[in-house]
Amino acid sequence: MSDTAKLILGDKTYNLPIITGTENEKAIDITKLRTETSFITLDNGFANTGATESSITFIDGEKSILRYRGIPIEQVAEHSTFVETAYLLIYNHLPNKCELEVFSKSFTEQAMIHEDMKNFFNGYPSGGHPMSILASMVCSLSAYYPELVKPNPSKEEIDLCVVELLSKVRTICAFSYKKSIGEPFIYPRHDLRYVSNFLNMLFSSSNRYYDINPIIVDTLEVLFILHADHEQNCSTSTCRLVGSSWANLFASVSAAICALWGPLHGGANQSVIEMLQSIIADGGDLKKYINKAKDRNDPFRLMGFGHRVYKNYDPRARIIKKKAYEVFNKLGINDPLLDLAVKLEEQVLKDEYFIERKLYPNVDFYSGLIYQAIGIPTKMFPVMFAIGRLPGWIAHWVEMRENPKSRIGRPRQIYIGNNETNYTPIGNR
Ligand code: ACO
């Protein structure tokens, strides 16, 4: 194939460079399109637009492939830990023993949040959604740690900011939960590792000792790993876009958390459980809900199905489904919602509407069931997703800031409003 694409506009032909990625993905480089032709491209939802070149994550949605820094997700999920995966995504290689030890140790050192920040939690009404608390608190880190938010940080300053954020987010998430149920905060412990420490802050209380269950720790490690990155999804693109103005890492991640919250993205795990519960409450008639999802005049969608990129089974959903059975068996749980979810999946995968549109269960379809089984309350589900996705947001922010070709993100538009219209005074001045 030629290394240029030809664009014919009227009687002029323009040669546009073709870019090829390491997995042979092709793109037409339109960087100079507007300058040379005065045309722009229009791409609703950016479904065909590459915003950047990136070396972090590779997805082939047709073949169900997901790789972090080249390593298949199945291998990472089976062998790695969340902390090691975070290192892999951010620093572009698996850490050796010493690097991993230093990285893990710095999480323990940075786990506390500024004591004054605790007062900030009190400003929230109890019952407030923990995602709103999380987003504000992460942005507030910029105010409490001003030394970390210089517009042009050095490599060392970025490294420090990265561990501060990864470690403190876990504490903030646990505190947000405690706030939302009106219980006193439990501080991070020096002797516990990342996931165990989080579980302890979540479930211990001043008069109740939480017995850390290794099955639950292992399950959460896997769930966090599976969520750790997914290239240019809505929240990661938000993080990059905000960071492209040289906004600091805390502010950029706070924006990503808000983007993640939406039910079409990371809020879907909460919506799946609510959907399954309402199907049961309504008599368990799956056909009725499948038909509702297919009805163009009904806004209802089957939550946990469909994906912009995967047009075949989401590889993360396959791992999570297996994990769900494993955890339920080991913990001796019999959950009618899991049975309903499996039946729903079976019916959907046979239905012409879903087959035609290549709609399969996504990562969020089974994750909520596991969170529920291990005692995580429904409104914390998107928060769990946020903890998992944090290394990805950070890796992309760092990649963008280190790339000398990065420019501020600023899409164009096609204006379809009024032509020039005179102001008509109504006499208020
Ligand atoms: N239920 C019913 N129909 C659906 C669903 C669904 N869950 N998802 C897509 N469709 C239909 C659409 O109505 C559309 O039909 P049409 O061609 O007749 O108009 C077609 O499939 C294509 O759907 P789009 O909305 O154009 O697909 P898009 O790529 O824009 O959206 C998305 C992807 C947002 C994930 C969508 O599938 C959806 O809303 N799913 C439910 C929410 C969800 O599970 N989100 C989590 C995504 S994974 C993640 O963020 C971690």
Cα of 30 vs centre of ligand 1, distance in Å, is: 28
Between 150 and 216, the higher pLDDT residue: 216
* CATH at residue 13: 2.20.28
Last residue within a domain, chosen from 65, 89, 109: 65
pTM: 0.93
**Which of 227, 307, 314, 396 is the catalytic position?**
307
Whether 362 lines ligand 1, by a CB cut-off of 6 Å, is: yes
Instruction: Please tell me the predicted confidence (pLDDT) of residue 208.
Output: 79
Residues 85 and 231 in one domain: yes
Are 104 and 208 contained in the same domain? yes
The pLDDT of residue 390 is 98
pLDDT given at position 146: 84
pLDDT of residue 74: 98
Residue after which a domain boundary falls, among 351, 374, 397: 374
Asked if residue 425 is part of any domain, the answer here is no
| Same-domain check for residues 246 and 273 | no
Report strand pairing: 57-60 vs 12-20. Answer: unpaired
- Under the banding of pLDDT at 50, 70 and 90, the label for residue 114 is confident
Whether 131 and 175 share a structural domain = yes
Is residue 237 one of the residues assigned to a domain?
yes
Which residues, in sequence order, are CB contacts of 56 under 8 Å at separation 6+?
68, 69, 89, 92, 229, 231, 392, 395, 396, 399
302-361 per-position pLDDT tens digit: 999 999 999 988 999 999 999 988 999 999 988 889 899 999 999 999 999 999 999 999
> What helix, strand, coil percent values describe the chain, rounded to 5?
55, 5, 40
pLDDT at position 300 over 80: yes
Q: Is 307 a catalytic residue?
A: yes
* Nearest C-alpha neighbor of 366 from the set 330, 329, 390, 337: 337
The arithmetic mean of pLDDT across residues 124-137, rounded, is 88
For residues 243 and 97, membership in a common domain is answered with yes
395 lines ligand 1 (CB under 6 A): no
Q: Is residue 398 part of a domain?
A: no
Supply the range of the domain harboring residue 323: 268-374
- 255 and 277 assigned to the same domain: no
Q: Is residue 161 part of a domain?
A: yes
- Mean pLDDT, the chain, whole residue set: 93
Residue 63, both tokens: 């073949």
Cα 209 to averaged position of ligand 1 atoms, centre (Å): 43
pLDDT tens string 275-293: 999 999 999 999 999 999 9
* Residues 97, 212 within the same domain: yes
**pLDDT (tens digit per residue) in 224-246:** 999 999 999 999 999 999 999 99
Q: Are residues 169 and 186 in the same domain?
A: yes
pLDDT above 90 covers a percentage of the chain that reads 77
Q: Using one digit for the tens of pLDDT, what is the confidence trace for 141-151?
A: 999 888 778 87
Last residue of a domain, one of 203, 231, 261: 261
Same domain (yes/no): 251, 277: no
Of 129 and 301, the structure prediction assigns the larger pLDDT to 301
Domain shared by 333 and 357, yes or no: yes
29: annotated active-site residue = no
Residue nearest to atom 8 of ligand 1 (CA): 306
Residue type, 324: A
In total, how many domains does the chain have? 3
- What's the 305 CA to ligand 1 centre distance in angstroms? 7
Please state, for a pLDDT cut of 70, what percent of the chain lies above it.
Answer: 100
273 Cα–ligand 1 center, Å: 17
Question: What is the three-state SS of 94-163?
Answer: CCCHHHHHHHHHHHHHHCCCCCCHHHHHHCCCCCCCHHHHHHHHHHHHHHHCHHHCCCCCCHHHHHHHHH
Task: Note whether 57 and 171 are same-domain residues.
Answer: no
* pLDDT mean over 389-405: 96
116, 255: one domain: yes
Using most ligand atoms within 8 A of CB, pick from 224, 273, 308 the residue to mutate for ligand 1: 308
